[in-house]
Structure 1
Amino acid sequence: MKTIYILLTRSGTLLSKLVYAATGSSYTHASMAFDAELSCLYSSTRKNGYTMFPAGPSKEYLNKGVFRLRDDAPCALYALEVSDEAYFRALHRAEEFMRHSEEYSFNTLGLILCGLHIRWQRRHHYFCSQFVSEVLEQSGALALPKDSTLMHPNDYALLPQLKCLYKGRLADLPQRKAMDLGETPSMVSIYTGLLVELLQRRAQSLFE
């Protein structure tokens, strides 16, 4: 048997605040990891970790992006025991999303419809809990109580198959405390770095 980890958070970003205002849910974002250290998380979220767009299936890190800047974010960590076969199928599916991330976008309309309990599958578009749900269901790791397009992050806290390992502030999450975070980056340095990266990509595209 192996373990897949589900991390639920409420980061306090604009989207998180809107979802919280509409639903009152304790958690507004879901990510998944395949190691106990949570060295890499998979979800459908901000692709560069900081700005709202571009967004879609991408990797997250506890010491980067929103997770780095939101120490007081409420979070909960859950463990799901699965067979070796289901574990590797889920990991392969998540990595497949990452390898082709440029083909996917964030499912904003689907997120709104999810809040209204309306099922709607949009090709190549995912919101966070829909992404996690499809990876788990398609790999045979977990039978969902409802369609993936209707799954909220909070729904995972209610599933009997998941064991709660931690609940509290993100800053006190053991896996995050074990990391050497260094000095908190300023917003100026963050956006300067993003601008430089964008210019580098544009320059590369001119010579391809």
Structure 2
Amino acid sequence: MGDEKVYILLTDTGTIFTRMIKFYTKKPYNHASISFDSKLDEVYSFGRKNVNNPFIGGFVIENIKESIFKEATCAVFCCPITGLQKRKMGQFIQKIKQNEHLYHYNFLGLFAVILNKQLRRENAFFCSQFVASVLKESDTINFSKPLSLITPHDLQESPGFQLVYKGKLRNYLSESDQETCGIHTSKEAISM
């Protein structure tokens, strides 16, 4: 498809808030982020702005080396994309970053997902809705259901994405010198 790549990081941090989400979804991962490099040096999402307060949220550039992620379990997926798709993704993310004060975390949207009801809110995303929006805006994936109902599990089922790693995030970060999809260096790495 292309010589560029996009990465989706799905995590379970084990916080009270994420345990509540996991109780409902019954899925292993409850948070989604997106990155353009295999080392996950810069990871974008919608989540908590303050590690100690899950109710203050919005657009975040996540520091996945922070304590909240240290013991997280994760799955990293990779998809080849074109240069044009990467530029569109970058422009979409940059627009939100430049106007982040206008964007909010979509708490109401989480309840809508539970009820399986589409809820459109301007300038509000939850994590997987944001990642799905980035992918859709760049014409990388056209989802079969509304973006406001996309869950982290839906993202991992997206066509074109290949599992690169599954296990403890700290192990991935300590061994993340792989540069392409499908190169596994960890004992915990899973191949498809």
The TM-score bracket by the shorter chain reads 0.7 to 0.9
Unmatched tracts of structure 1, length 5 or more: 180-208
1:103-122 matches, cutoff 5 A: 103-122=102-121
- What is the CA-CA distance between 1:165 and the residue it aligns to? 0.2
Contact preservation (8 Å) 1:47, 1:59: no
Q: Which residue of 2 aligns with 1:160?
A: 159
Q: Which residue of 2 aligns with 1:141?
A: 140
Q: Is the alpha carbon distance of 1:44 and 1:165 closer, same or farther for their aligned partners in structure 2, counting shifts above 3 Å?
A: same
1:174-193 matches, cutoff 5 A: 176-177=173-174
Q: C-alpha distance in 1, partners of 2:175/2:53?
A: 26
Contact preservation (8 Å) 1:46, 1:58: yes
Q: What is the one-letter code of the residue matched to 1:125?
A: A
Q: Which residue of 1 aligns with 2:44?
A: 42
Q: C-alpha distance in 2, partners of 1:24/1:146?
A: 20
The 3-state SS of whatever aligns with 1:144 is coil
- What is the CA-CA distance between 1:65 and the residue it aligns to? 5.1
The 3-state SS of whatever aligns with 1:54 is strand
How much is the aligned-residue C-alpha RMSD, in angstroms? 1.5
The 3-state SS of whatever aligns with 1:52 is strand
The 3-state SS of whatever aligns with 2:143 is coil
Unmatched tracts of structure 2, length 5 or more: 177-192
* More strand per residue: 2
- What is the CA-CA distance between 1:177 and the residue it aligns to? 1.1
Aligned length: 174
TM-score, structure 1 as length reference: 0.79
1:113-132 matches, cutoff 5 A: 113-132=112-131
Q: What is the one-letter code of the residue matched to 2:174?
A: K
Q: C-alpha distance in 1, partners of 2:52/2:160?
A: 33
Q: Which residue of 1 aligns with 2:189?
A: none
User: Which protein shows a greater Rg?
Assistant: 1
Segment of structure 1 superposing worse, 29-38 or 52-61: 52-61
Deviations 1:38-82 (CA, angstroms, capped at 9, x unpaired): 101000001244431420111102212522xx41x2210000111
Q: C-alpha distance in 2, partners of 1:10/1:59?
A: 17
- What is the CA-CA distance between 1:87 and the residue it aligns to? 0.8
Q: C-alpha distance in 1, partners of 2:97/2:90?
A: 11
TM-score, structure 2 as length reference: 0.85
* More helix per residue: 1
